[in-house]
């Protein structure tokens, strides 16, 4: 069961990583999911050159803490 009153794990401006690829992302927006009982994050994938950065919306369970 999901606790609907808990705070979001990441805040706007923080960095995280995509769980599947490990690519670093910057959090642009945080909102409650309409159809998923979780937070949905609008993120900017910080791709390395020559690739260009791009935006993506992902649920919280697809993000991981950024390894330093």
Asked if the model's pLDDT at residue 3 lies above 90, the reply is no
pLDDT tier at 68, thresholds 50, 70, 90: low
pLDDT tier at 2, thresholds 50, 70, 90: low
| 16, burial (CB in 10 Å: exposed 0-12, middle 13-18, buried 19+) | buried
Asked if the model's pLDDT at residue 1 lies above 80, the reply is no
Each residue's pLDDT tens digit, 8-65: 999 999 999 999 999 999 999 999 877 767 899 999 999 888 888 899 999 999 999 9
Distance between CA 62 and CA 36 in Å, rounded?
13
**Domain residue ranges of the chain, discontinuous segments joined by +:** 15-65
Q: Write down the pLDDT at residue 48.
A: 80
């Amino acid at each position: 069961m999901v606790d609907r009153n808990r705070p979001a794990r990441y805040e706007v401006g923080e960095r995280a990583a995509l769980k599947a690829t490990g690519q670093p992302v910057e959090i642009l927006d945080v909102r409650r999911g309409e159809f998923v009982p979780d937070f949905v994050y609008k993120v900017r994938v910080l791709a390395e050159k020559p690739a260009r950065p791009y935006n993506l919306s992902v649920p919280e369970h697809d993000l991981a803490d950024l390894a330093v």
